[in-house]
Amino acid sequence: MAQDIGPEVVISPSRTVFQVHKGVTLPNHVLPEVIEDLQSFKFRPDDIIIVTSPKSGTHWVSETTGLIMAYGVWENVKRDTLKNHLEFALINKDVFDESIPFVWFYKQLDKMPSPRIMFTHLPLEFLPPGVFDVKAKIIYCARNPKDTVTSMFRFVGHVTELQCKSFPEFYGEFFTDQWLFGAWDRHVLSYWNLKNEDNFLFLKYEDMKKTPGKIVTQISEFIDHPVSDDVRDVIVEKTSIDKIKKEMKRLEKAQEEGYLFSKAFGRFSYYQKGVIGDWKNYFTVAQSDEFDKEIHKRLGESGLEFDYE
């Protein structure tokens, strides 16, 4: 089976060391002291916070939400808050130069005007409580676990300093706290349990793919920013994977730091295939069966189900 995971990238190992905070594995550019300081981050009632476990449609939902706020006009999307994750250092292409200090993005967010769209991979136990205190809008997007782990393997599979493992070893960490930002099932289920809260919207990646018009309407109504049917249709067209990739290339050429919206560290593309079912190119039948049993055990009676093709 073909495993297209991109070119090998050689980067500074000292800036790719993982760390553990309260049992949860974090990338090096998310320091424990920042997680603690974020607990007092000042959210605003009109903030929109997009939450995902890694490789679950983070930037797709962010672009869709930004376009809704801009009534479907790319050039009017407010991008300052979309440069980075809430909890990240400002990771740009120079971040691996150890003479350049990290810049904490949340400190920049604090100075940005409303309304702010921001995104994060923080598990619920690390999410600042202020978001619930002010009833800011939270959008969580989940993706079927087989495509999630496959997408992550494609994303970092050839980064030698990350000491990536074989695919079976890689997906074996998926349900453990060795997985970035914590075990996938705990991350997803903790947010799934909030699905009936007034300030919370739970989305699925597969629904965004299969019924994009419905999802655009859901998001627009949830954030109290309704759009006409014509604008909805424009947004659906522009948020197809091909159109988003085209827009990201335009941004890279038009803005000095345009790559921040399309590539982690200016090197790893956030937008890959954008399909359902790519896991079939990675899992053997036996691995798929083993993974299915684990998913069933983990999701149990939660009622959370996914489409896999």
Which of 21, 121, 187, 225 is catalytic? The answer is 121
| 121 flagged as catalytic | yes
| CA pair distance 171, 269, nearest whole angstrom | 21
Contact status, residue 291 vs residue 145, Cβ threshold 8 Å: yes
| CA pair distance 87, 259, nearest whole angstrom | 19
Contact status, residue 136 vs residue 197, Cβ threshold 8 Å: no
Of 44, 47, 51, nearest to 202 by C-alpha is 51
For residue 133, the SS3 value is: helix
Of 273, 270, 275, 271, nearest to 85 by C-alpha is 270
| CA pair distance 198, 137, nearest whole angstrom | 9
For residue 89, the SS3 value is: strand
- Name the H helices within 157-257: 167-172, 184-192, 205-210, 212-222, 229-238, 241-254
| CA pair distance 179, 281, nearest whole angstrom | 21
| Crossing angle of the two packed helices 58-69 and 229-238, in degrees rounded to 10 | 150
Rg of the Cα atoms in the chain: 19
| CA pair distance 64, 272, nearest whole angstrom | 17
| CA pair distance 215, 230, nearest whole angstrom | 15
Category of 179 on φ-ψ map: left (φ > 0), alpha (ψ -120 to 50) or beta: beta
| CA pair distance 248, 251, nearest whole angstrom | 5
Catalytically annotated residues: 121
